[in-house]
Structure 1
Amino acid sequence: MDISKRLQTVAALASYPVVADIGTDHGYVPIYLHKIGKLKKAFACDVRKGPLEKARENILMHQAQEIIETRLGSGLTTLQPGEVDTAIIAGMGGMLMIRILEDSPAVVSSLKELILAPQHDVDQVRRYLHSIGLIIETELMIKEDGKYYTIMRCIHGEEKYHREIDYLYGKRLLLVKDPLLKELLIAEEGKYLLLEEKLQKSDTESAKERLTQLKEGLALVREALACW
């Protein structure tokens, strides 16, 4: 089955055979897990009827209807506590992910693992995970179609980061000196420097305030780059 590198990476992190794919869209992740023999039971969940109908068609086409069940509804509310071991949430923003987790604390508590691939606000997701007693056990970065994606496997436990850069950029990515993260940081540094040059030409109060904020951000990027 031909699915994106991002979704393959997400699927590869699943360790248990009973899975819920939240925001399943066309059902690609559970179908792929079934195809590679990693699935005993799956729930393909989506809040939108159209994509869920397409997921049903794809499930039938791949003869996986006995293994993969579709459910219409918002986030993890389609599940009962203890019904699945693994929940996968990918393809949406970080703040929406946080709201999904907030809405179903009993289901989150019952999971053995949580696989997340937030498209932005990743630092907020990391902070929230720590606040509800989850450890970011694995963190990976991939690049696809010119975009960078962070993918996390989370399990229950106590963990806190002590540096701001660990929440902003990912402690485990910094520890392993991830080459894609370095590439992203160098690009960020370049953007900061260009903007700094423009702001220095302005004498307005708003420009001065923005310049102060920019320098703080640039300092954090450079602190992160110093890990290499």
Structure 2
Amino acid sequence: MDISKRLQAVAALVSYPQVADIGTDHGYVPIFLHSLGKLTRGFACDVRKGPLEKARENILLYGAQEIIETRLGSGLLPMQPKEAQTAVIAGMGGMLTIRILKDSPEVAASLKELILAPQHDVDAVRRYLHTIGFSIETEEMLKEDGKYYNILRCIPGEEKYHREIDYLYGKGLLLQKNPFLKELLTAEERKYCLVEKRLLESQTENAKERLLQVREKLGFMREALACL
């Protein structure tokens, strides 16, 4: 299958053959896993009927109908505990990712791994995972079409980060000295420096309050960049 680098990277982190793809859209991830011989049972779940119908068509097109089942519903709600070993939640916002896990705690707790690719609020996702008994075993960052993507493989286990920058930017990425994270943070630091300069020229109380926040953020960015 011709799928994006991001979805290929998501699929590459899947370690178990029974997979639920949440927000499956066109069903590309489970179909791709099936084409690689990595799937014995798949669930393509989506809250929208249109994309799910497209997923059904694609499943038939690739001859995967005996392996991959489509299910209509929100998040993990169409799933029962232990039906899948892996849940893939990719292409959604971080807060929606958290809500999906919150809404189905029994299903989430029964999984052997989570493969997550939140599009923003990744720090909030990292924090939440640590409150529900998941550790972040692997984290990757890639760049595609000018956008940066985080992909996390999470497994059951107790874990807590002790530095704020590990939650903000990813402990694994900092340890790897990930070049895409360095590129992103370097660009972000330049932007925040310009904001700092503008705020210094303003005398309003709002500007002073915002300046404290910007300087705190710059401090975290520089601490992280020193690790990279």
TM-score by length of structure 2 reads 0.99
Aligned residue for 1:14, secondary structure, equals coil
1:174-208 alpha-carbon deviations (Å, 9 max, x no partner): 01111111111101100101111111111111111
Which residue identity does 2:148 align to in structure 1?
Y
1:8-19 map, 5 Å = 8-19=8-19
1:46-85 map, 5 Å = 46-85=46-85
1:77-127 alpha-carbon deviations (Å, 9 max, x no partner): 101101011000001000000000001111111111010000000000000
Show the counterpart of 1:35.
35
Question: In 1, Cα distance between the equivalents of 2:132 and 2:31?
Answer: 30
Show the counterpart of 1:139.
139
Aligned residue for 1:226, secondary structure, equals helix
Which residue identity does 1:167 align to in structure 2?
Y
Show the counterpart of 2:172.
172
Question: In 2, Cα distance between the equivalents of 1:134 and 1:193?
Answer: 36
Q: Which sits farther off after the overlay, 93-102 or 200-209? A: 200-209
Show the counterpart of 1:103.
103
Structure 1: gaps (5+ residues): none
Show the counterpart of 1:122.
122
Question: In 1, Cα distance between the equivalents of 2:109 and 2:128?
Answer: 14
Question: In 2, Cα distance between the equivalents of 1:16 and 1:215?
Answer: 44
Which residue identity does 1:26 align to in structure 2?
H
Which residue identity does 2:224 align to in structure 1?
A
Show the counterpart of 1:89.
89
Show the counterpart of 1:4.
4
Deviation at 1:212, TM superposition (A): 1.0
Structure 2: gaps (5+ residues): none
Show the counterpart of 1:203.
203
Aligned residue for 1:78, secondary structure, equals coil
Show the counterpart of 1:226.
226
Question: In 1, Cα distance between the equivalents of 2:214 and 2:109?
Answer: 39
Which residue identity does 2:14 align to in structure 1?
A
Which residue identity does 1:25 align to in structure 2?
D
Aligned residue for 2:172, secondary structure, equals helix
Deviation at 1:150, TM superposition (A): 0.4
TM-score by length of structure 1 reads 0.99
Aligned residue for 2:184, secondary structure, equals helix
Question: In 2, Cα distance between the equivalents of 1:94 and 1:197?
Answer: 31
Question: In 2, Cα distance between the equivalents of 1:154 and 1:28?
Answer: 21
Show the counterpart of 1:215.
215
Question: In 1, Cα distance between the equivalents of 2:72 and 2:226?
Answer: 47
Which residue identity does 1:27 align to in structure 2?
G
Q: What is the percent sequence identity of the aligned residues?
A: 76
Aligned residue for 1:75, secondary structure, equals coil
1:181-200 map, 5 Å = 181-200=181-200
Deviation at 1:134, TM superposition (A): 0.4
Aligned residue for 1:2, secondary structure, equals coil
Aligned residues: 228
What is the Cα-based RMSD across aligned positions, in Å? Answer: 0.6
The reply to whether residue 149 of structure 1 matches residue 149 of structure 2 is: yes
List structure 1 runs of 4+ shifted beyond 4 angstroms: none
Which residue identity does 2:156 align to in structure 1?
H
